[in-house]
Structure 1
Amino acid sequence: MHTQIMTARIRLALLALAVAVVALLGASGKAWAAPSPTSEVEALRVSNISDSSVTISWTTSSATTGHIVYGTATPDQTATDVRGADVALTTHFVVISGLTPSTSYVFDVVSAGLPDTNGGAHYQFATGPSLMPAMPDTAYGRVVLSDGTTPVEGTLVYLNVQDADGSGSGGTSTSLAALTNAQGEWVADLGSTRVNDASAAFIPMCIMA
């Protein structure tokens, strides 16, 4: 499997872009490997954190349905996979919107009808404050099989931006997540990244006037 990555602007030494690709099962139903049948939640991530939305993604070894229950005190609201509530998949991608800025939430993952409550403690995320709109900075790419042409649908792509020369925010940004379409294509806005606690926009470099 290969991923081809492009960005609208190239920063070379000033910006480092880390990309992780997770593809267990394409929409065609052809598995990459022969996993043991299980609905156990694996590789759970919270990404695309803003003031009003987050993305929660995970994988399962076999194709299952999955959704998120969430809330500020107890998980009492439901968010489903962007590809449909009843679709059985091995990569799972749930976008939760309409959230309150600067607010902590708890959530559980329901996989094949079975709740994963993190041992009863619930999983957690927090939205950031409202910020001024950032200039879009598009990264995009395509995931294909080793033949270099066959696209892979339903792949999870994760990106982090790093301040490579220390002239910007420093360290690494919050995670971005994208999902490949039927052509294996994905897109993400690097301009939407934030510092690790999501309190401010992530600046990968300092531009001198």
Structure 2
Amino acid sequence: MNFVKEFIRDYYLAIISVLVLLLGVYLLSIFTEPVSTPQDVSITNISDRQATISYTTKNGTRDKIFVSDTKTFPRLLAFSDDYLVDDRDLNKKNMSYYVLHNITVGNLAPGKLYRYKVYQGVREVYNGAFSTANTLDSIAFPSPVYGRVVANDGITPIEGAIVYFQAINRVVGGKDSSRSAVVGSGEDERSSVLSTITNNEGRWSVDMGNLKTQDLRDSFIVGKGAVEKVVVNVGGEKFSAETVPGQDKPWPDIIVQSSK
């Protein structure tokens, strides 16, 4: 009988020891998670139902994004499993380390304010807010544009770069180039910003049909004489390029000359 009791005791002690060890490893991993403050935070692709949060970090980090439509977040937020991850990790079991972060926030409500927090391990490293657009009365026709980002050899594709896209109606001599430009303002009219991330072939695409005015109240009409501008973020370095409608299917290759 004593042998049986000792066996049962040792068995449970072994289980408890393993559980304590696993808990210790888990706590150690989250408390020692690398931390790097988000920089160049942008909210793009804003519609009535979704938005994209993108930013850079100096070092590679694994970030969790918590979103709330109220002023409060749950307690012990760092241990909650209700978080968003980078778009590239959506179909992965484990999160990867990135210096360029791109997170799509979906299932949102029109015309509503949302707050978000960025966590690395158990630490909150950034917080911000954005508002969704109201649902428009009409839907613009799809107008996809696409291109490629390559290294300075003109061949090697740049994977994982974030491409920011904007259309600009140039105002010349006080005359507007679209129905939504401000006549006589003398200022160019800029659309909302779309963004995407390049694939393993360096390719990217956005739909200009999703462009809106900067106040998000109407679809953006690309006028005559308009230009299309992209800014490519490659590991914190930025490169810009422009083209005109009609030369965007595809765009001329965007060549980045990284100093790294």
Answer yes or no: same fold by TM over 0.5.
yes
Aligned-partner SS, 1:80: coil
Correspondence 1:133 to 2:130: no
**Residue identity matched to 2:223:** M
Q: What is the alpha-carbon root mean square deviation over aligned residues?
A: 1.8
Distance 1:67 1:134 in 2: 33
TM-score by length of 1: 0.74
Judge conservation of contact 1:164–1:204 (CA < 8 Å) in 2. Answer: no
Judge conservation of contact 1:75–1:108 (CA < 8 Å) in 2. Answer: no
Aligned-partner SS, 2:83: strand
Q: Which has the higher contact order (CA 8 A, sep 6+)?
A: 1
Paired position in structure 1 for 2:64 = 67
Residue 48 of structure 1: which of 45, 50, 54 is its match?
A: 45
**Residue identity matched to 1:155:** A
**Corresponding pairs, count:** 166
- Bigger proportion of residues as helix: 2
Distance 1:204 1:157 in 2: 19
Aligned-partner SS, 1:83: helix
- Bigger proportion of residues as strand: 1
Paired position in structure 2 for 1:116 = 125
Correspondence 1:203 to 2:200: no
The structure whose Rg is larger is 2
Structure 2 unpaired stretches of 5+: 1-33, 75-81, 182-188, 225-260
TM-score by length of 2: 0.60
Report percent identity of matched pairs. Answer: 31
Judge conservation of contact 1:39–1:112 (CA < 8 Å) in 2. Answer: no
Query: Shift in Å at residue 89 of structure 1?
Result: 0.9
Distance 1:75 1:153 in 2: 35
Displaced runs of 4 or more, over 3 A: none
Correspondence 1:107 to 2:104: no
Are the structure 2 counterparts of residues 191 and 200 from structure 1 closer, same or farther at C-alpha, using a change threshold of 3 Å?
A: same
Are the structure 2 counterparts of residues 183 and 135 from structure 1 closer, same or farther at C-alpha, using a change threshold of 3 Å?
A: same
Correspondence 1:152 to 2:158: yes
Structure 1 unpaired stretches of 5+: 1-36
Query: Shift in Å at residue 67 of structure 1?
Result: 2.7
